[in-house]
Amino acid sequence: MSLLLFHTMNHVPVLSTILVLIILYYLLKTLHSIFYVPYKNQQHFRHQGISGPTYRPIFGNSSEIKRLYAETKSESNSFDHDILKRVVPFYHRWSCMYGKTFLYWFGSTPRLAISDPDLIKEVLVTKCGEYGKVPYNPQSKLLFGQGLVGLQGDQWSFHRRIFNLAFNTEILKVR
């Protein structure tokens, strides 16, 4: 019995070492994705002349976005045709600060905001399959349904061709 107990005790340091190495591996992997990758992404875009609000670990710019929404709700409701600053206050503020193209963060995921018409055309028409869409949140899905806004890939291309035919300027001139 004591020989069996001694034999089992020899494996405890090996098993604990393996467990520590596994935990260390996942810890380093998490730190890499939370700190290093976003930092490198931000540096990459800054070298291209695209700036934006600074990345905050784990939460990104979410707290700043919430703060800007709260500020907008607390302001007086004077009527203004410029609804952008009321609907998406973070976009309005950051586009004024950083220009037509800027980088912001949802968690450790970068989002590139563009408002230059030529870049928008390139993304939506020329290179539509190379860029992924932001996934729907439940409220957006209720609002938009499974329309063109929510489709991706081949389904989106098929429906886009149908819409292009419907809004062709030659067809619209005839009617």
- Which residues of the chain, if any, have pLDDT below 50? 1, 3-5
pLDDT on residue 9:
58
d(CA 66, CA 89): 10
- Are 110 and 56 within 8 A, CB to CB? no
| Global confidence as pTM | 0.65
pLDDT on residue 1:
47
What contacts 33, CB < 8 A, 6 or more positions away?
Answer: 108
pLDDT on residue 103:
92
d(CA 157, CA 163): 10
Cα 88 off chain centre by: 15
- Are 113 and 95 within 8 A, CB to CB? yes
Sign of CA dihedral 11, 12, 16, 17: negative
pLDDT on residue 22:
94
d(CA 165, CA 158): 11
